[in-house]
A and B are shown apart, each in its own frame.
Chain A
Amino acid sequence: MKLTLYIWRQKNSSTKGSFERFQMDDVSPDMSFLEMLDVLNEKLLVEGKEPVAFDHDCREGICGACSLVINGQAHGPMERTTACQLHMRKFNDGDTIYIEPWRAKAFPVVKDLIVDRSAFDRIIQAGGYISVPTGSAPEANNIPISKDDADLAMDAAACIGCGACVAACPNGSAMLFTAAKVSHLAILPQGAPERHRRVKAMIERMDSEGFGGCTNHGECQKACPKGISIKFISLMNREYIKANLASLARDKGEVTAQ
């Protein structure tokens, strides 16, 4: 296959970037999208030019490192597929492909196609955990959990933290990412003791990192390579309201349990 690529090149976060055009003459349909970029980079290396910087690691769709906007779509045209699992047989001979980094205020460009997603780590640090120090766990089967709940928690926990949801959202919102973690832990009984504190802390951190708000476009769900549903955003909103009602009640001196 012959392809024309327009790839975003940017030296660092403080310089302006622009598209650079590359012609690819011998692309095999069996290549993955990233292997196609490997071939380009090999060529650039041998010519002594700087290869295109892009994030990638496992190339199995699970580590969440790869982060390319391909022809305007986060992770490209194939549903529920990361860029690393996208194969060139999805494209046609003669196609022109635009490749850009995630674009969001909270994800500044580091270089070329690499962005800084550390804001996601900080959202988790704010409360995306169950406080159970090593050694203090009860026997595992002492906590029975219905299969439906376990499956639902797993649906939310499948998030790979790639940031496609933010890249796809017109507001640059991280609601789907945050909701996935809040929901995973709220659905399970182990997560109950900290549920109110957790949802408030994580949402507060999310807002302070510069992510936008949710206006129900639903683009995040469409772009998510793990198919995480926006119903978890509703669940998080309910959790948030409950948490705030509970603190209001406590402030008024009412005696309530969760």
Chain B
Amino acid sequence: MELNSKIPEGPIQEKWDRHRFEMKLVNPANKRKYTIIVIGTGLAGASAAASFAELGYNVKSFCFQDSPRRAHSIAAQGGINAAKNYQNDGDSIWRLFYDTVKGGDYRAREANVYRLAQISVNIIDQCVAQGVPFAREYGGVLSNRSFGGAQVSRTFYARGQTGQQLLLGCYSALSRQIEAGKVKMYPYTEMLDVVIVDGHAKGIVTRNLRTGKIESHAGDAVVLATGGYSNVFFLSTNAMGCNVTASWRAYKRGAGFANPCFTQIHPTCIPVSGDHQSKLTLMSESLRNDGRIWVPKKKGDTRAPTEIPEEERDYYLERRYPSFGNLVPRDVASRAAKERCDAGYGVGPGGLGVYLDFSDAIKRLGRQVIEDRYGNLFEMYERITGENPYETPMRIFPAPHYTMGGLWVDYNLMTTVPGLYAIGEANFSDHGANRLGASALMQGLADGYFVIPYTIGDYLAGVAPGSVDTSHSAFSDAEREVKQKIEKLLSINGKASIDSIHKQLGRLLWDKCGMSRNAEGLKEALSKIPEIRERFWREVSVPGSGEDLNQALEKAGRVADFLEFAEIMCHDALSREESCGAHFREEYQTEDGEALRNDNDYCYGAVWEFKGDNQQPVMHKEPFTFEYIPLKQRNYK
């Protein structure tokens, strides 16, 4: 596997401009001869599909939900970053670039991050023009708020529903192109394989989730915008349907998978309430702007939080990180919560929770201001827990939320398979080992609106349009494999539920490859995962047929892929003998328990190559060089 990142020459400020000039263009009259396949209709997928169609390409767009508007980007609450510097508080493209590289703990590609910061300003313009109702000041200008990991206010937001409003913006642009006949939309259709012909991605195999029909679709390029894999942990803040299947099939067809162990555990989620729990609910990180995080100073203190006097509370983030306080980056905040709970100071059921307290903010600003800022989040918290956060502190605990790892892509967002692209959370490029709040929406839209519409042309200009159709044997071979796997799942006839096996995998990963890892635990996980996988293929119960709407079958297929994927996650975590960002190896920490990087030996992206089922994957390295931001220990004190 050859890793050529294709970073353009020249000073970092000029790379993207220069590259846009140097890339080949497809003549407007020829664009209509090309078909691009886009999987996923979240921010990245929908914005890319709409933008391709506007340029004149034919687009086939796929999502597993019943409507493209339901993709999981819709659930993002807090906001989207952009270096507009509207607040006159010292922000700039350079500062956003710097914060993102530092926040990612120096494990991202500088040139990509700089481009992301540059493009961020165009995204806000585009979204406002589409009618995204961002929050505004009385004078009519856009409003901003601050977010974890930054000391400027650069986050744009639409109440606690920013992801929803941005996604509805993309969805409306996509809908316009569907009406115009430039996009053919395939809802409730799941991609189950990617088809490679002569080394180039030329199509996909899908299953219609309503009729069970297996179909082939040919195209001149394939774009995966299929999100992240947090659901490998079973419990995460992701929607129930989020899965690794598309990325995993691409990996098995030759696409390198980068940094799979970089998984973000979000600090502010509602704690688990029992075994029945199907998912975890995030409370926006923006709450940390006004909420103060604390635990009792006394171990096992069972008093109600409102009865614990001020001097008996440990505001541990403010204590450990006086300059950033409650606004430290997510990885730092999550680990600090785990540290307190492990030490016996946690609150709520099982001691797995810390308080997020708004009483000071309510005293300072009044209840009305807090209600304006977070009203919908407070309501949601009360609905789930039955407790009123205006009167008693929220209980929060970290939960898997986002995955920085993903398919390896070059500067053009192309994977190691020519013609196969990965955008948004599905790729690995911009967030390094830890993503900052309000940066996922920014990256998804940057990739979809402003990067891939240019870079895909450079590839397409070099291939003949429509050179392969679905009569090629590669399609029938892939279809046969997909059908065999479905038949195999339906013929197990075991007694174990799919969820019970998924939960077993999730608990193992949470314990051994979650917020902190060590070599011994990772080796144990690597020995247990194959056992769980074997149990799945021997004992799982998947009733019903393949020729019908069958939600158990859909779920079983996704869990089967998670059971394979989990291994490279652990291999990756085991091979990275350092701590960086969200990847915390207990063996590598500073004296006061902070992550200890090893830039001499591990300043690279680890890219895994598939070598066959039950074969050890091979790791390749993309070295990261930092020409503009000197490597140093992150310090939020």
Residues of A within 8 A of B549 (CB): 12, 53, 110-111, 114
Asked whether A190 lies within 8 Å of B239 as measured between CB atoms, the reply is no
Among A35, A111, A130, A132, chain B packs the most CB atoms within 10 A around the CB of A132
Residues of A within 8 A of B279 (CB): 59
How far apart are the CA atoms of A154 and B166 in the complex, in Å?
Answer: 12
Does B418 have its Cβ within 8 Å of any Cβ on chain A?
no
Residues of A within 8 A of B500 (CB): 42
Asked whether B165 lies within 8 Å of A157 as measured between CB atoms, the reply is yes
Q: Of B127, B129, B187, which one neighbours A136 at CB under 8 angstroms?
A: B129
Among A35, A114, A129, chain B packs the most CB atoms within 10 A around the CB of A129
How far apart are the CA atoms of A124 and B279 in the complex, in Å?
Answer: 31
Q: Of A110, A138, A153, which one neighbours B133 at CB under 8 angstroms?
A: A153
A 62-94 binary contact with B (CB < 8 Å = 1; else 0): 111100000000000010110001110100000
Asked whether B239 lies within 8 Å of A28 as measured between CB atoms, the reply is no
Within 8 A of A (CB), among B351-384: 379-380, 383-384
Asked whether A51 lies within 8 Å of B551 as measured between CB atoms, the reply is yes
Within 8 A of B (CB), among A15-70: 28, 30-32, 34-36, 38-39, 42, 45-46, 48-51, 53, 55-65
Residues of B within 8 A of A118 (CB): 66-67, 187
How far apart are the CA atoms of A223 and B164 in the complex, in Å?
Answer: 20
B 545-572 binary contact with A (CB < 8 Å = 1; else 0): 0001101100000000000000000000
Residues of B within 8 A of A141 (CB): 86, 141-142
Asked whether B386 lies within 8 Å of A32 as measured between CB atoms, the reply is no
Shortest beta-carbon distance, B544 to chain A, in Å?
Answer: 5
Shortest beta-carbon distance, A124 to chain B, in Å?
Answer: 5
Asked whether B130 lies within 8 Å of A132 as measured between CB atoms, the reply is yes
How far apart are the CA atoms of A141 and B129 in the complex, in Å?
Answer: 10
Does A254 have its Cβ within 8 Å of any Cβ on chain B?
no
Shortest beta-carbon distance, B397 to chain A, in Å?
Answer: 15
Does A101 have its Cβ within 8 Å of any Cβ on chain B?
no
How far apart are the CA atoms of A140 and B380 in the complex, in Å?
Answer: 31
Asked whether A134 lies within 8 Å of B450 as measured between CB atoms, the reply is yes
Shortest beta-carbon distance, B74 to chain A, in Å?
Answer: 5
Does B496 have its Cβ within 8 Å of any Cβ on chain A?
yes
Asked whether B130 lies within 8 Å of A146 as measured between CB atoms, the reply is no
A 103-122 binary contact with B (CB < 8 Å = 1; else 0): 00000001100101110110
Asked whether A161 lies within 8 Å of B176 as measured between CB atoms, the reply is no
Asked whether B74 lies within 8 Å of A58 as measured between CB atoms, the reply is yes
- Name the residue of chain B whose CB is nearest to the CB of A78: B383
Q: How many residues of A contact B (CB 8 A)?
A: 79
Q: Of A35, A151, A191, which one neighbours B278 at CB under 8 angstroms?
A: A35
Shortest beta-carbon distance, A42 to chain B, in Å?
Answer: 5
Asked whether B142 lies within 8 Å of A140 as measured between CB atoms, the reply is yes
Asked whether A158 lies within 8 Å of B131 as measured between CB atoms, the reply is no
Within 8 A of A (CB), among B274-331: 274, 276-279, 281-282
Residues of A within 8 A of B51 (CB): 133-134
A 225-253 binary contact with B (CB < 8 Å = 1; else 0): 00000000000000000000000000000
- Given that A39-B276, A60-B75 are known contacts, is A46 also in contact with B495, CB under 8 Å in the complex? yes
Asked whether A38 lies within 8 Å of B276 as measured between CB atoms, the reply is yes
Does B128 have its Cβ within 8 Å of any Cβ on chain A?
yes
Shortest beta-carbon distance, A154 to chain B, in Å?
Answer: 4
Among B68, B131, B142, B386, chain A packs the most CB atoms within 10 A around the CB of B131
Stretch at the interface among B2-10, B167-175, B590-598, B606-614: B167-175
Residues of A within 8 A of B241 (CB): 57
Q: Of B70, B127, B172, which one neighbours A128 at CB under 8 angstroms?
A: B172
- Given that A59-B240, A125-B176 are known contacts, is A81 also in contact with B278, CB under 8 Å in the complex? no
How far apart are the CA atoms of A89 and B385 in the complex, in Å?
Answer: 10
How far apart are the CA atoms of A153 and B551 in the complex, in Å?
Answer: 37
Q: Of B124, B138, B173, B493, which one neighbours A129 at CB under 8 angstroms?
A: B173
Residues of A within 8 A of B450 (CB): 134-135
Shortest beta-carbon distance, B480 to chain A, in Å?
Answer: 27
Asked whether B129 lies within 8 Å of A132 as measured between CB atoms, the reply is yes
How far apart are the CA atoms of A121 and B122 in the complex, in Å?
Answer: 27
Within 8 A of A (CB), among B171-191: 171-173, 175-176, 178-179, 185, 187
Does B54 have its Cβ within 8 Å of any Cβ on chain A?
yes
Does A131 have its Cβ within 8 Å of any Cβ on chain B?
yes
Q: How many residues of B contact A (CB 8 A)?
A: 83
Shortest beta-carbon distance, A131 to chain B, in Å?
Answer: 6
Within 8 A of A (CB), among B570-613: none
How far apart are the CA atoms of A32 and B265 in the complex, in Å?
Answer: 23
Asked whether B54 lies within 8 Å of A133 as measured between CB atoms, the reply is yes
- Name the residue of chain B whose CB is nearest to the CB of A190: B131
Asked whether B168 lies within 8 Å of A157 as measured between CB atoms, the reply is yes
Among B70, B126, B140, B493, chain A packs the most CB atoms within 10 A around the CB of B70
Asked whether A34 lies within 8 Å of B175 as measured between CB atoms, the reply is no
Shortest beta-carbon distance, A161 to chain B, in Å?
Answer: 6
Among B66, B138, B279, B281, chain A packs the most CB atoms within 10 A around the CB of B66
Residues of B within 8 A of A146 (CB): 136, 138, 140
Asked whether B239 lies within 8 Å of A53 as measured between CB atoms, the reply is no
Does A255 have its Cβ within 8 Å of any Cβ on chain B?
no
Does A145 have its Cβ within 8 Å of any Cβ on chain B?
yes
- Name the residue of chain A whose CB is nearest to the CB of B172: A129
Q: Of B65, B140, B453, which one neighbours A147 at CB under 8 angstroms?
A: B140
Shortest beta-carbon distance, B289 to chain A, in Å?
Answer: 20
Residues of A within 8 A of B175 (CB): 121, 124-125, 128-129
Does A257 have its Cβ within 8 Å of any Cβ on chain B?
no
Residues of A within 8 A of B449 (CB): 134
Q: Of A81, A116, A160, which one neighbours B383 at CB under 8 angstroms?
A: A81
How far apart are the CA atoms of A111 and B173 in the complex, in Å?
Answer: 31
Does B137 have its Cβ within 8 Å of any Cβ on chain A?
yes
Within 8 A of B (CB), among A141-166: 141, 143-147, 150-151, 153-154, 157-158, 160-161
A 155-184 binary contact with B (CB < 8 Å = 1; else 0): 001101100000000000000000000001
Does B474 have its Cβ within 8 Å of any Cβ on chain A?
no
Asked whether A144 lies within 8 Å of B383 as measured between CB atoms, the reply is no
Asked whether A53 lies within 8 Å of B551 as measured between CB atoms, the reply is yes
Q: Of B141, B179, B239, which one neighbours A57 at CB under 8 angstroms?
A: B239
Residues of A within 8 A of B68 (CB): 121
- Name the residue of chain B whose CB is nearest to the CB of A159: B168
Residues of B within 8 A of A145 (CB): 136, 140
Residues of A within 8 A of B497 (CB): 42, 45-46
Does A126 have its Cβ within 8 Å of any Cβ on chain B?
yes
> Across chains A and B, which 9 residue pairs bring their CB atoms closest together, nearest first?
A144-B140, A129-B172, A137-B129, A137-B125, A154-B133, A125-B179, A140-B128, A153-B133, A150-B136
User: Hey, which bits of chain A sit against chain B, CB under 8 A?
Assistant: 12, 28, 30-32, 34-36, 38-39, 42, 45-46, 48-51, 53, 55-65, 78, 80-81, 85-87, 89, 110-111, 114, 116-118, 120-121, 124-126, 128-141, 143-147, 150-151, 153-154, 157-158, 160-161, 184-185, 188, 190-191
User: Please, could you name 27 A-B residue pairs with CB atoms under 8 Å apart, sorted by A?
Assistant: A32-B384, A38-B276, A38-B499, A48-B543, A51-B552, A57-B70, A57-B72, A60-B380, A64-B70, A110-B549, A125-B176, A125-B179, A128-B172, A132-B129, A134-B51, A134-B126, A140-B124, A140-B127, A145-B136, A150-B134, A157-B158, A157-B168, A158-B159, A184-B133, A188-B131, A188-B133, A191-B131
**Other CB < 8 Å A-B pairs besides A111-B548, A140-B128, A146-B138, 20 of them?**
A45-B541, A46-B541, A48-B493, A48-B541, A64-B67, A85-B383, A87-B383, A110-B210, A118-B66, A121-B178, A124-B171, A132-B129, A132-B130, A134-B453, A135-B450, A137-B128, A139-B125, A143-B129, A150-B134, A157-B131
